[in-house]
Structure 1
Amino acid sequence: MNYKIFVLFFITFYALSVSAQEITGNVYDEKTNEPIPFVNIWFKGTNQGTISDMNGDFKLPLVKKDTLCFSSVGYFQKEIKIENGTKMPISVSLIENVKELGEVQVKPEISRAKELFEQILNHKNENKENIKRVNEYKILETKTVYVAVDTFSKIIRSLGNLDDVTIESDNQKLRFSPVYLSEQARIISNDSVNVVYSKKDGIFPRLNQTIESMIVDKVVVDLDFYKDQIYIMDRGFISPLNNSALLHYNLYLDDSIMIDNNQYYHFSFAPKNKYDPFFTGHFTIEDGSFALTAIDVYINLKANLNFVNGFKGQVSYKKLPDGNWFYNSQNIGVNLSLTSNKDSASNYSSKRIDNIEKGNWLINKYIQYSASEGLNGIKAREWKQRPEFAFDSSLANAYSRVDKIKEHEVVKGIDKIGGMVLTSYFNKGIIDIGPVYDLYSTNTIEGERIAIPIRTSEKMFRYFSIGGFVGYGTRNREFKYGTNLVYQPQTMDKFILRFNYSNDYNLVSQEKFLRFIKYNPNSKGTGNFISLFTSREENPYLKEEESFEIRIEYNALNGNHLEVSPYLLSSTNTQAVRFIRNNTEYEHYKNYGVLMDLRFAFGQPYDKFYFDRIYYIGNIPVVHMSFDIGQTLLPGQKIKNAGLYAQFHGSVQGRLTRGQVFMNYMLNGGYLMGDAPYDLLDQPVGSMSLGYSKDRFNLLHFASFAHNLYTNAHLYVNGGGVLLNRAPLVRKLKLYEIVSFKGHIGELNNSYQPVFDLPSYYSNESNKPYAEIGFGITNIFKVLRIEYVRQLTNTYVGSGFADKGGIRFRAEMSF
């Protein structure tokens, strides 16, 4: 994920979601006036309810039932009628049941809790299957992102009438401005999902889909507590119903209640280590079926997570006529901020989401389920007016506020900068400037190279773009140039046609398959901006190349992708890159062929930016299978006398998550055979800088190995604080331990017939594996990673093409 956008949003705008009408209040002891925690609160005749927190405070959505019940061990049960006009918050006093105090054990019944929890686990698979058996139902989902803004800010005042662009709050200094709004209606039928209504808008047109896919969908996910893990913010949170939950959570049986002659047990839970990213909260189960009827979860402030000032998740279930339980609603809210709010440091987890300061984002997703036949024949856009679903009427006005805000010049500027960070293009009306990595680079031939890359934007042509670049080297005082065309023949991006031409200097080691797995790759060889400005040498291994290429792309609905690319290349030697064969030096040569790539994305979500689909690394692996076939022509050589070459290449990348620990992986391998120039060989290289590279090596120099049979591995493990959370002083810094591994195995065998002699700066004397291992910490000031990298063995220490070890830096952010 490109978290630079995340920082940009935080610096400028944050969000607050609008919620439906709620009942809030406080429960206290009538005699001592002390707050009573863990009071069971529910609407009479239902199992819809909540529990009071450590301060006795509670909050729950208002439903049609108007009588609220309060029950706690050691107190008399109390009922309160909620009428229209009742002022919030309400205060509720409970009277101590003196007679029962001598009979009831007030402290948690740990042994009884364990016995009941074993029954929950024994029935877990059955209850999960009962939910899956409901295969005909409807969903109404709303997502909102609001920002808390200071009404005295000059920028906010410049937006005009605050009533037109913001929503008032109880705090006179704060109002709430919409950033992103979405509503969707879906019909689920026999595992098929049919979206029958959808509406979305946001104040950043270029970034709306990124806000949804990289922020909203990562922090407000579907909460299925019957699963062992719930993925939130790129972390796996252990469910309190996990088979091993008692290893991670302290579990307490708080109370039992009777509703309509059915008994329900109420549990509370908290992580054993408060610094671990686990849930705290409470849940209710039905006796007999031991099915979940309601669960509320929160995340502790001390948990080792970035930007999360508050998190709440509420899931309620309803009993179907067949006696089984199914979803009623899910309500998920997150309060995000760059730093923890000052007044939230000592508050109970359930309170923190409501402690709002300027700049906070409050993100909300509210999902409602209905199996009612009363919705059949009703237009999906009208579901929100039906009694089966509750809907926030203020959402309609929020869309008009979005229209007004996104026309402000400051907001437009933020949208442009955010779009540049994500896509590497900066918009200037009908022109896009980029990719930004091509603006500046250095190499031995050109010295400092300054380029102007541009293309026409969507504002000029929606389905067509023409662009190019002009680059100038300060050392050789020479211009280089190129042009490109893109055409989408249909409204959907099922087919994309591209044409590229360039006359430029390119790295001999530049991997042609890299663009399939890394979007916006830096073709000039530096892995990141730290590498760009800290490289201790200029890369001399460039050749002058004139390139013609046509790309025909096909995108399937499931995310699979096929590309066929005929190409013609004309390569010219330079001082460091020479083409010698049998003591004869050739100034240039040509090769032509067809490159094909097939991507299997397995339905992985993606974002589309103009003509490009961006797939983000996730728990679903992405597999690429590539094949290149071509022919090399020397000056004066006829086609019939030239041999063919063929190259097979495959890669897989993704993420494995287990609790707070995750591992990113990228594995590739290939085989080149036939008559081919040496620049088609696999050449693992580094940037010779202080910058840590994810997709290349960190200790290798600009030239090392050259193999036709090869495999490479890039692994990165982020511990999420699994060890550092247990260090008394260090854990307050919220650092993450990291381990990385990079390895290469290859050889140059007889299947490869060299068109040119292999230059002496390549080393193939040994076929022993090359490996790097790194240890370090990340999340330093939330943006910096430092890692010590060292060769795993001493095989290539002193070889002249690899460093023994060194410290590397990388700017990165995550939750």
Structure 2
Amino acid sequence: MNKGLYLFLLLIFCLNLVHAQTKVSGRVIDNTGNTVPFANVIFENSSTGTTTDEVGEFYLQSEKDYEAIVVSFLGYKTLRVPLESSVNLNMKINLEEETSSLDEVVIYRGKTSKKNNPAVDILKKVWKNRRKNGVKAFDQYSYKEYEKLEFDLNTIDSTVINNRLFNGMEFIFDYADTNNVTGKTYLPMFINESVSWVYGDNEMGKKKEVLLGNKNSGFSQNRNLINAVKDIYDDYDIYKNYIKFFDKSFVSPISTTGIDTYNYILSDSAFVDNKWCYNIIYYPRRENELTFRGNFWVNDTTWAVKNINLETSRDANINWVKQVYIEQDYEVLNDSVFIITRDFFMADFGLTKKKGSKGVYAKRTLLLNEYEFNKEKPEPFYQSQVYDPQPQVYDRSDEFWEANRLEELNKDEKGIYVMLDSLTKTRAFRRLYDIATIAESGYVEFDGWDYGPVYSTFGFNEVEGMRVRFGGRTYFGQNDPWRIQAYGAYGFRDNKFKYGISGKVLLDPKSRLILAGGNRRDVEQLGASLTNSTDVLGRSLASSSLINVGDNDKLSSINLSTFSLSIEPVKNFSLRVGANYREIRPASPEFSLDYYVNEDRTIVHSEIHQTELSTILTYTPGRIVSGYGVEPNVVNEEDFPTFFLNYSLGVKDVFNSDFDYKKLQFFYNQPLLIGGLGRSNFSIEAGKTFDPVPLGLLSVVPGNQTYFAIYNSFPTLDFYEFVTDSYASAHFDHNFNGRLLSRIPLLRELNLRELVGISMVWGEISEESKMLDASGLTLRAPDKDPYYEYSFGIGNIFKILQIEAHFRGNYFQNPDARSFAITADFGFHF
């Protein structure tokens, strides 16, 4: 889950406007007392309506006054229900079967047929004409986009209002009102508006957004939060096979794959904005899958969707989200092409999916107009700038917003700004905000500096025993041009003090020229990663795990100093040149890094002193960052590939350095959303050291003797079981998101998720490097056949835990080889 989003959700869970004139809710049943799901409910003489859910319930709201609602469903008599007042809740509505029309109309109950179904026939015409609609029908396009984001605390009742958490903030409840989709009382907690020009070129496959203005209340300085909220909503297209949000792929009811996933019913036909359209109701064929229910209107000549609403099934396998509702409107262009003009998205977050449970609404309203087409722009126009702070767009005048809003704020929405600006100034709210910040970032904020990370306060290993750590960083704001971080640690078994300190400064924001350096003296489990890291403050979980498989008796003491200069000439492509100096010696009493220093192999050294120069290229296409300081926040942490290339040069005799060598390393990581099959992650690593080096400088295949998941490690390998100077490895993990278990009746309610994975590594070690070694450790590499292991697991246990079983595939002849391992991982995931 995105860290900024997690921060905001945690904040408003700790706390745990629109004024409507007509409100209606109830349940629709038939003559036998059975509920009628997916029935149409609309206000009389309007196009404002909804459909009943799986248990026949509905809620409908409008700012206008209406005297009646009209309820209809295929095979039943249409019923007009008068409204006695402006608020009519918990109504019970009985529909009668239309017996006189049974010979003329096919009534679909349960699963509908894929053949001889008029709704499916219409859907096939939609597929045939889908490429002729929207902005994709043109070579180039541009339009103006207005976006309104809002977060609301919902299900406001007396237990919330009287909660001591709100002492000093009671005034906010004057702004509570009722949601027009769910009927729940809600309280606005955050609002953000933005206006942009969007440009696109379908021939080049390019798109660019130019932000004109941004306005929000309550968190104007927290750009991380604003970007995290925006990142909830991926760009989705109802004509594609899958609609993606919350890191999940939902089957689109308009897609060609929808016919195997949904039931379709041709419900009605009518004029919609002077265009004759057909109404089709759809609902899932199976439970617990990532699907929607709802209806859509299709024009009878262009076969384009005029309006659609999508609501996730209550049993959809998605965490922390009780319901998602989407509504889109399209308008006709030149009597042939339909373009989207309005897109409304609402997610109802909750700790549980119980109907009356409290939660948070996340809502986005998107309005688009001023379309222009086939105005070509040169390719450089679409290139993103490395440095684009745009401070002026966050400080637009009221006159700007009056002129550029595509939809006026109503009186209560304007009141949100007043309420939230007042709320963020209260001491009680600031206390809650500070608690949420600590939980998300791990840092306790003070004036100009932060203490933390608090999660690293305690650790344990066999050399240090119980370990305590304290540290902090400078922090004046997220766009700080410089930052210093430091920590100190003490082990109660070795009675030694350790420390680390690093600093970096942004010399040129336009090219992101950064100067960085630092020093660390600590105890480490080396070989926890194949790819070199010169992170002065980083420390693998393998160095501090309280419980291990077998003895963790191969720890090292390291004194690392680094200096680097990096630049980003093109957005998301960086070049870093640097130098580091390391002193490495064994920390565990029975562990040795000894190596011979003469040809006769008679003189042994136990410490390594090494100076190394490095050139690193990193490319992260599609990465989105918030802020423009020395440490920008990554918004979409798991949604972009990473390419990493490192050329290192060991230099002898500089600062008493021991070895000359050349080393080349490559790393590639690719997250993948595979339609309805779930999410995968694939990575490869390869490297070679071109000269003989001792054990402390070789590439150790990363074993894992802990019970916790460590990225790209091999859980059935022990530390230092394989050592290489040339290697290639690959890791593939896949999460089916419950697609298989959701079809098993006794398991589907648990919303568990199936996990599979396979990892392999090949490597070799030269005879020259072996001849240097005097450690007494048997140096072996997987040089005959690639070593491999595979895993099966269950995720989403209690919504936070996944457990995997790992199986060794070969090399069982290695001493003390483990054939099986268990790892666990904790985290919040949708």
Settle same-fold status: TM greater than 0.5.
yes
After the TM superposition, which residues 493-508 of structure 1 pair with which residues of structure 2 at under 5 Å, given as runs? 494-508=512-526
Kindly indicate whether residue 595 of structure 2 is the aligned counterpart of residue 580 of structure 1.
yes
In the alignment, which residue of structure 2 is the partner of 1:605?
624
1:244 match: secondary structure: helix
Deviations 1:663-714 (A, max 9, x none): 1223222222124343332212334222233332212112211112212223
> 1:434 is aligned with what amino acid?
G
Relative to structure 1, the CA distance from residue 393 to residue 513 in structure 2 (aligned partners, 3 Å threshold; closer, same or farther) is: farther
Aligned counterpart for 2:131 among listed residues 125, 128, 141: 125
Question: Which whole-Å CA distance do the structure 1 matches of 2:782 and 2:120 have between them?
Answer: 63
Amino acid at match of 1:747: E
| Mapped partners of 2:688, 2:778: distance in 1 | 22
1:349 maps to none
Deviation at residue 103 of structure 1 after TM alignment: 5.7
| TM-score, normalised by the number of residues in structure 1 | 0.83
Match of 1:309 in 2: 322
- Is the 2:132–2:337 Cα contact (8 Å) retained in structure 1? no
Question: Matched residues in 1 for 2:652 and 2:272: separation?
Answer: 81
Query: Matches of residues 501-540 of structure 1 in structure 2 within 5 Å?
Result: 501-511=519-529, 513=531, 522-523=539-540, 525-526=542-543, 532-537=545-550, 539-540=552-553
Alignment partner, residue 169 of structure 1: 177
Asked if structure 2 preserves the Cα contact closer than 8 Å seen for 1:468 and 1:482, the reply is yes
Q: Look up the match of 2:826.
A: 811
- Report the AA paired with residue 592 of structure 1: T
Alignment of 1:95-494 (within 5 A): 101=101, 104-105=104-105, 107-108=107-108, 111=116, 112-128=118-134, 135-148=141-154, 149=156, 150-160=159-169, 162-164=170-172, 167-169=175-177, 176-190=186-200, 191-202=207-218, 209-210=224-225, 212-213=227-228, 217-218=231-232, 220-259=233-272, 262-341=275-354, 344=355, 357-358=357-358, 360-371=359-370, 382=400, 388-408=406-426, 411-436=429-454, 438-458=456-476, 462-489=480-507, 494=512
Q: Is the 8 A contact 2:75 2:102 kept in 1?
A: no
Q: Distance in 2 between matches of 1:370 and 1:460?
A: 34
Partner of 2:393: none
Deviations 1:615-658 (Å, cap 9, x if unpaired)? 64544322222222222449978x9xx63323232222323332
Give the Cα–Cα distance (whole angstroms) in 1 for the partners of residues 405 and 442 of structure 2: 47
- Alignment map for 1:550-565 (pairs within 5 Å): 550-555=563-568, 558-565=571-578
Identity of aligned residues (%): 18
Provide the C-alpha distance between the structure 2 equivalents of 1:68 and 1:507, rounded to a whole number of angstroms: 69
Is the 2:141–2:371 Cα contact (8 Å) retained in structure 1?
A: no
CA distance in 2, matches of 1:269, 1:286: 17
Q: 1:554 to 1:291 in 2, by over 3 A?
A: same
SS of the residue 2:254 aligns to: coil
Q: Give the aligned partner of residue 381 of structure 2.
A: none
Q: 1:623 to 1:722 in 2, by over 3 A?
A: same
In the comparison of the two structures, how many residue pairs are matched? Answer: 778
Kindly provide the CA deviation profile for residues 318-337 of structure 1, in whole angstroms up to 9, marking residues without a partner as x. Answer: 11245321111011111111
TM-superposition CA deviations, 1:250-289 (whole Å, max 9, x none): 1111122245764211111111112112111111100121
SS at 2:700 equivalent: coil
- In the alignment, the residues of structure 1 paired with residue 295 and residue 678 of structure 2 have an alpha-carbon distance, to the nearest angstrom, of 25
Post-superposition CA distance 1:367-404 (Å, at most 9, x none): 0111279xxxx999645667952434433332343334
Residues 380, 680 of structure 1: alpha-carbon distance in 2 compared, 3 angstrom cutoff: farther
CA distance in 2, matches of 1:363, 1:461: 27
Question: Per-residue CA shift, 1:466-522, capped at 9, x if unaligned?
Answer: 332222222222222332222223567823322101233333324484659x99853
How many Å separate the matches in 2 of 1:163 and 1:578? 67
How far did residue 211 of structure 1 move?
Answer: 7.1
Cα separation, partners in 2 of 1:707 and 1:20, compared to 1, 3 Å: farther
Structure 1 match to 2:680: 663
2:743 corresponds, among 709, 722, 726, to 726
1:286-339 deviations in Å (ceiling 9; x for gaps): 012110101101111122222222221101111124532111101111111111
Equivalent residue number for residue 622 of structure 1 = 642
Using a 3 Å threshold, how does the CA distance of structure 1 residues 277 and 676 change in structure 2: closer, same or farther?
Answer: same
Structure 2 runs not aligned, ≥5 long? 201-206, 373-395
Q: CA deviation at 1:563?
A: 2.4
Choose 274-283 or 425-434, whichever is displaced more.
425-434
Deviates more, 1:107-116 or 1:382-391: 382-391
Instruction: State the 1:234 CA deviation.
Output: 1.1
Please give the secondary structure, in 1, of the residue aligned with 2:742.
helix
Alpha-carbon distance change, 404 to 687 in structure 1, aligned in 2, over 3 angstroms: farther
Cα deviation for residue 114 of structure 1 reads 2.2
Q: 2:97 and 2:263 mapped to 1: Cα distance?
A: 27
Deviation at 1:196, TM superposition (A): 0.2
Contact 1:165–1:401 (8 Å) recurs in 2: no
How many Å separate the matches in 2 of 1:78 and 1:133? 48
Shift of 1:546: 2.5
CA distance in 2, matches of 1:118, 1:562: 51
* 1:271–1:255 CA distance, 2 compared to 1 (3 A): same
CA distance in 2, matches of 1:636, 1:156: 61
Separation of aligned partners in 2, 1:132 and 1:40? 37
| One-letter code aligned to 2:797 | I
Q: 1:564 to 1:425 in 2, by over 3 A?
A: farther
Q: Could you tell me how far 1:418 is from its partner in structure 2? A: 4.2
Q: Check 1:653–1:340 CA distance in 2 against 1; reply closer, same or farther (3 A cut).
A: same
How many angstroms does 1:52 deviate by? 5.7
Cα distance in 1 for residues equivalent to 2:30 and 2:184: 37
**Partner SS, residue 525 of structure 1:** helix
Q: Secondary structure at the match of 2:757?
A: strand
Question: Are 1:739 and 2:747 an aligned pair?
Answer: no
* TM-superposed deviation, 1:813: 2.9
Gapped regions of structure 1 (runs ≥ 5): 345-355
Q: Distance in 1 between matches of 2:422 and 2:446?
A: 21
Amino acid at match of 1:463: P
Give 1:300's aligned amino acid: S
Give yes or no for contact 1:651–1:669 (8 Å, CA) kept in 2: no
The 1:708/1:102 distance shift into structure 2, 3 A limit, reads closer
Partners of 2:558 and 2:29 in 1: how far apart?
Answer: 85
> Could you tell me whether the CA contact under 8 Å between 1:716 and 1:740 is conserved in 2?
yes
Cα 1:379–1:430, aligned 2, differ >3 Å: closer, same or farther?
A: closer
**Taking structure 1 as reference, are residues 681 and 400 closer, same or farther at Cα in structure 2, changes over 3 Å only?**
farther
Whether the 8 Å contact between 2:531 and 2:665 is mirrored in structure 1 is no
Matching residue's letter, 2:332: K
Q: How many angstroms apart in 1 are the aligned matches of 2:481 and 2:79?
A: 66
Distance in 2 of aligned mates of 1:445 and 1:29: 69
